[in-house]
């Protein structure tokens, strides 16, 4: 995430503030910042107060994070044991079916993560709740990482199974487009520096993306039948035996707990960074 340079957010202004001297470049930045203080200080301050009791959330989050991580760790150990030792190899695919235990949970999270972003964005847009914006932003990168993992492990699974790393199958293609949607969503957060504005814009994009997801899904499905794509991913025929199911469920819950933990950590740092930003803006007000 390159983001733009030369903005108040990226530079650490503290040393310049302390010395009271600003190089010309920073002078420009400060003119901007001053304007922004005049226009935005009330909203920014109001936002911090309106953060639905940020202290209470921070307390809850820092208490809940270790539990999430511990739960994830326990389930992960159990799931990995099950996936690598306890579960039998697939009678058709052999041991390469074990990739399922890291692929399917990631794929579930890819979709759950985007749904989470959409729900949080809707709440943020309707109720103007900054915590919801923070949640939506914090879910973006983990969601994108899990989407990428679903694609990578999927193609590693595809090579021994279908003989090729990539087929333009409907499901794979949809997930690929989903990854692009994540990228666009993160890009808009990076591009707009004022947090409230970025939150609104990103929320609009998330909702537009959400109404487009079914369209993309069905169009890709239509497209893959048009091209007579080898329908390698059949709807699962035989139901999975318990010995394969429990490791899968264990891994899936482990991934979900991990996702929750990561999102909580990221939300906390997001809130702290916003607080930091307001502090710096108010310092900038006092400096001259």
Point out which residues bind another protein (CB under 8 A): 4, 14, 18, 84-85, 89, 94-96, 98-99, 102-103, 106, 141-142, 145, 148-149, 152-153, 156-157, 159-160, 177, 180-181, 183-184, 187-188, 191-192, 197, 200-201, 204-205, 207-209, 211-212, 215-216, 219-220, 222-223, 226, 258, 261-262, 265-266, 268-269, 272-273, 275-276, 279-280, 283
Cβ-contact 126, 118 below 8 angstroms: no
Query: Which residue matches tokens 């080898």?
Result: 230
Length of the chain: 288
Residue 114 CA, chain-centre distance (Å), reads: 8
Shorter beta-carbon distance to another protein: residue 30 or 99:
99
Cβ-contact 144, 175 below 8 angstroms: no
The Cα angle at residue 68 between residues 116 and 149, in degrees rounded to 5: 55
Label residue 96 exposed, middle or buried (CB < 10 Å: 0-12, 13-18, 19+): middle
Q: How far is the CB of 85 from another protein (least distance, A)?
A: 8
Q: How far is the CB of 172 from another protein (least distance, A)?
A: 13
Q: Is 91 strand, coil or helix?
A: coil
Cβ-contact 250, 78 below 8 angstroms: yes
**8-state DSSP, 287:** -
Shorter beta-carbon distance to another protein: residue 30 or 146:
146
Query: Which residue matches tokens 């006092």?
Result: 286
Shorter beta-carbon distance to another protein: residue 31 or 159:
159
Q: How far is the CB of 155 from another protein (least distance, A)?
A: 9
Shorter beta-carbon distance to another protein: residue 177 or 232:
177
Q: Is 135 strand, coil or helix?
A: helix
Strand partners, 229: none
Shorter beta-carbon distance to another protein: residue 82 or 261:
261
Q: How far is the CB of 89 from another protein (least distance, A)?
A: 6
Shorter beta-carbon distance to another protein: residue 34 or 190:
190
């Amino acid at each position: 995430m390159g983001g733009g340079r030369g903005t108040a957010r990226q530079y650490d202004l503290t040393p310049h503030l302390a010395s009271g001297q600003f190089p010309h470049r920073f002078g420009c930045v400060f003119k901007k910042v001053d304007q922004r203080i005049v226009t935005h200080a009330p909203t920014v301050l109001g936002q911090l107060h309106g953060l639905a009791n940020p202290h209470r959330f921070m307390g809850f989050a820092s208490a809940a994070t270790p539990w999430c991580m511990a739960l994830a760790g326990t389930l992960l150990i159990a799931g990995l044991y099950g996936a690598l030792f306890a579960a039998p190899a697939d009678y058709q695919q052999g041991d390469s079916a074990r990739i399922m235990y890291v692929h399917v949970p990631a794929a579930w999270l890819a979709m759950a993560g985007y749904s989470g972003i959409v729900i949080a964005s809707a709440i943020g847009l309707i109720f103007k709740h900054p915590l919801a914006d923070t949640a939506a932003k914090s879910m973006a990168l983990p969601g994108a990482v899990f989407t990428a993992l679903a694609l990578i492990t999927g193609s590693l699974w595809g090579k021994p199974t279908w003989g090729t790393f990539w087929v333009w199958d409907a499901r794979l293609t949809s997930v690929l487009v989903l990854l692009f949607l994540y990228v666009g969503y993160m890009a808009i957060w990076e591009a707009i520096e004022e947090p409230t504005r970025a939150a609104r814009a990103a929320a609009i994009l998330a909702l537009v993306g959400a109404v487009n997801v079914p369209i993309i899904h069905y169009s890709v499905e239509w497209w893959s039948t048009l091209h007579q794509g080898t329908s390698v991913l059949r709807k699962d025929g035989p139901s999975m035996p318990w010995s394969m199911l429990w490791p899968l469920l264990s891994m899936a819950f482990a991934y979900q707990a991990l996702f929750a933990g990561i999102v909580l950590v990221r939300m906390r740092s997001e809130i702290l960074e916003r607080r930091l930003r307001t502090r710096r803006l108010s310092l900038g007000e006092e400096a001259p």
